Chains A and B, each alone.
Chain A
Amino acid sequence: MKHSVNFLLKYNFLPLIFLLAGCGPKHIDGVDVSPGIVYCSEGDPTTFNPQLTTTGTTTDATSYQLYNRLVEYDPALGTIMPGLAHHWHINENGKIYTFYLRKEVPFHNNKTFTPSRYFNADDVLFSFNRIIEQQHPYHQVSGGSYPFFQSVGFAKQIEKIVKVHPYMVTIHLKEKDSSFLANLATNFAVILSKEYGQQLLASNTPHAIDSTPIGTGPFYLDSYYQSSHIRYKPNKSYWGGAPAIDQLVFDITPKSTNRIAKLMTGDCDVSALPQSSELDILRRNITLELQIQTGFNVAYLAFNLQKEPFNQPKVRKAIAHAINKRALIEAVYYGSATEAQSVLPPLSWAYNDKLSEYHYDPKLARQLLSEAGLADGFEMNIWAAPVQRIYNPNAIKTAELIQGQLAQVGIKVNIISYGWNVFIDKLNAFEYDSVLLGWTADNADPDNFFRPLFSCAALATGANRTNWCDDSLDQTFTKAISSTNRKQRTALYHSALAQLNNELPLIPLAHALRFQVKSRAIHGMPLNPYGGISFAKSHRVKATASVKGAR
């Protein structure tokens, strides 16, 4: 009797079990459905207007997708290219910039706004006046802070912006500034719609200009779900040619390992900021392509030159000789950086390759220290930034390595770190002996590495961490910026670099490489060294392998 029960059960249930086990997965290439691209981004944008921010996450999500600039920077050629201005010229004294605007450029439309006219000079005036005029109705909307423009002194630099006729604008500068055009080509100098602004003012919802954006760019914002995803749809009437993809989705994935996993399993096509430690896995995966570009950034160890014994150049040089940059790059960047000889990366046209190197030589370091009267060594502190930055993935680890290296020459190092905001506050009070920080350029102009880091004016704004400035150096910077002759400028920057290399107020450590990982099926996405990612020309090339999941 029992046997028959068993028999019955066995053959009743076993097929069911097998059936379940057979519910195996079928590989599904959902991406075949629609030629869209999913980008795994690292975080939520703080706004949809890049004028208001300097964070890469926000500019990546907005700047090149939704907007255009008057002029664009071409990363491949390293030159300024036409944008919304198809042509421009600078007058003889270098103070008046005239822009001839592109005609028949339409703005996006959304549920509440349908543009009645094409882009024209009014929109240029609206966008820039919002930044420079305190009394502009939109200046205080979203807080009134325009960090990039404030850091380059945009408002002080511009005397006036004049609409000559609907398709011609002149910008009058107070002083000659050869980095001005480069500033207009940055991610931040986008053009907004004046008509939209007026409509929002009339409906008393001015904040919407930064959260439900209207631009002229290749994509318009379809929907945004915080901490989940942003969906863009192509602007079919884009003046530069409609994008070849049906949609662009930013999948907000804060964890780096998750981004890589999504990339490998096909939920993402392109991923932001892979970590140095993951590069080996990515290189081994044949379906993925790792794009590498020397970044326009530098990580440095800056000394507080008002403190003993760092006021002595010999001590600074001794420390430079005691630091093994190669080891730092191996351990902190996993090889994904190049050794820095100067603050300026070798990619820049003003780079000086004739500087004398401070190679790793502990013996020489000890000798220099004893010449400075510090043969017995001394104690110092290194402040290390608590967060990951593009130029330095792990400042605390860097500090620990330097701690070990300096111990070899008899210098005892204490590492100090605070939360990021407190850290910056305390830095501004110049309480440190030395600090590990860095700089990421916003544009291609070499000036971006000099005035913000070393000028006397930068002492007040807080970017000059050396607590030191030099009048002759300041004059060199001013001369370089008021010249438009590249040869002359190169010579001036070479001399500035030589002077800095000799004084050594800070030790340049490394230029971190910029990475982007993408599926090999995605084409048309060059890596921009200044940050900012553009999908305008991206498209999916159908590989034969991707058909296998189709119906």
Chain B
Amino acid sequence: MWFYIIRRFNLFVLTVAILYFLVFLMLHAMPGDFATNISGQQQPSVELLTELTKSYQLDKNWFNQYISFINQRIHGEFGVSFTTGQSIWQEILKFLPATVELCLYATIIALIVGFPLGILAAVQPQKPADFMVLGVSLVGYSIPVFWLGVIAIMYFGLELQWLPVAGRLNLLYQVPPITGFTFLDIWLSNLQYKELAYRDAFSHLVMPTLTLALIPATMVIRITRTAVREELNANYIKASQSRGLSPATIIYRHALPNALQPIMSQLSLQLSTLLTSAMVTEVIFSWPGIGNWLIDAIYQRDYPVISAGLLICAGFIILVSVLTDVILIATTPKRRSAVDGSN
């Protein structure tokens, strides 16, 4: 087990090092002065330039530069943004919670909707319910996020005026950003009408979350269906059926727990898809998250922000996939032995 974790950790370090190297190359290739691009300091004074040269070892060879680049970044030193002049790390801390919040709620909805439907389709193979669920999930999977978002804005926002179309909270609620998570912040604030603020925050969440949840939900359905069907066909299920166990017990106690493993491992692979969709969703709904921030930076040619956003997003995906891998291995002896056995 430990051996496995160490191997995963090595893999993680190596992948991140390659990621950093690519970003490092990208910064070199971007137009403008390398010192400016890497630090965000436009037209630095002589003292500042000396300091930058020292901290990024700009007078040394590329390998030294690369190492000190990693060194600066992993200490949270991302430089400053061209457009706002503020510390990029502070900006990341400001925008990341919004993205995490959106992705988290979307994932929860995807699981709540996807699991039951997936199971439903699995227990009725080749029946109308199965076809319905599969058909709907295929249609859902094919709908582009940006199109769905815009249609939702047009219909539910502008036409029916049921839901707000932009932002996280009506600005009349003065909620200081302490944690960055809207509901927590409202809870921590000293607002007089907290209940109304919660409702307003909820109404702002509905459309972006549902839009973002669509594709993961269809994936959960399809993955669950396949996994549960495979389990239901296994001999031990047939054995328990012949022993007269109730269908509910069979599903909940035997089939589902065993099907969960492949589902989880498949889902962790979908994280990058989720994050990409989240970026698009954020732009459409003016959600002040990391995606919106990054795409703005691309428009503004804010190179330090682009590189930082890339590192953060890609790093986050790598970290989560390694972690889920480790957790899965830790909880599934079957997989572990397979891996260990190959060594």
Contacts and interface: CB of A to CB of B under 8 A. Distances in A.
Nearest to A230: B171
B156 to A, nearest CB: 7
A26 B157 contact: no
Contact of B172 (A20, A27, A34): A34
Nearest to A245: B172
B206 interface: yes
Interface stretch (A8-16, A292-300, A417-425, A500-508): A8-16
B170 A38 contact: yes
Nearest to A38: B171
B32 to A, nearest CB: 15
B260 interface: no
B247 A36 contact: no
Interface string A229-267: 101000000000000000101010101001001101111
Question: Which residue among A4, A6, A17, A261 has the maximum number of chain B CB atoms within 10 Å of its CB?
Answer: A261
Question: Which residue among B165, B172, B203 has the maximum number of chain A CB atoms within 10 Å of its CB?
Answer: B172
Interface residues of A, number: 44
Interface string B191-202: 011011101100
A26 B170 contact: no
B173 interface: yes
B251 interface: yes
B162 interface: yes
A543 interface: no
A258 B166 contact: yes
B288 interface: yes
A247 B172 contact: yes
B247 A1 contact: yes
A121 to B, nearest CB: 37
* B-side interface mostly: helix
Interface string A1-35: 11011101110110011001000011110111110
A262 B167 contact: yes
B337 interface: no
A476 interface: no
B158 A265 contact: yes
A356 interface: no
B123 A30 contact: no
B170 A6 contact: no
A261 B171 contact: no
A267 B167 contact: yes
Given A30-B200, A33-B193, A266-B161, A8 B153 contact: no
B113 A17 contact: yes
A227 B200 contact: no
B196 A551 contact: yes
B166 A261 contact: yes
Contacts of B203: 25-28
A17 B153 contact: no
A503 B116 CA distance: 81
A31 B286 contact: no
A227 B84 contact: yes
A258 B156 CA distance: 15
Contact of A5 (B158, B195, B247): B247
B40 interface: no
A222 B176 CA distance: 12
A228 B250 CA distance: 53
Given A13-B116, A261-B166, A8 B161 contact: no
A8 B286 contact: no
Given A4-B247, A25-B206, A36-B172, A13 B153 contact: no
Contacts of A265: 157-158, 161, 163-166
A226 interface: yes
A285 to B, nearest CB: 9
Contacts of B26: none
Interface in B231-269: 241, 247-248, 250-251
B112 interface: yes
A231 B171 CA distance: 9
Contacts of B250: 5
Contacts of B193: 33-34
B247 A38 contact: no
A231 B174 contact: yes
B163 A25 contact: yes
A28 B286 contact: no
A13 B120 contact: yes
A25 B112 CA distance: 18
A264 B172 contact: no
B120 A10 contact: yes
Contact of B197 (A1, A2, A4, A30): A30
Nearest to B191: A33
B150 to A, nearest CB: 11
A302 B192 CA distance: 58
Contacts of A27: 161-162, 203
A25 B161 contact: no
A228 B119 contact: no
Contacts of A33: 172-173, 192-193, 196-197
Nearest to B172: A36
B84 A247 contact: no
B86 interface: yes
Contact of A226 (B86, B119, B164, B195): B86
Nearest to B171: A249
A225 B113 CA distance: 37
Interface of B: 84, 86, 109, 112-113, 116-117, 119-120, 123-124, 129, 153, 156-158, 161-167, 170-174, 177, 192-193, 195-197, 199-200, 203, 206, 241, 247-248, 250-251, 286, 288
Closest 3 CB pairs of A and B: A5-B247, A13-B116, A30-B200
6 contacts: A9-B120, A31-B172, A36-B172, A261-B158, A265-B165, A551-B196
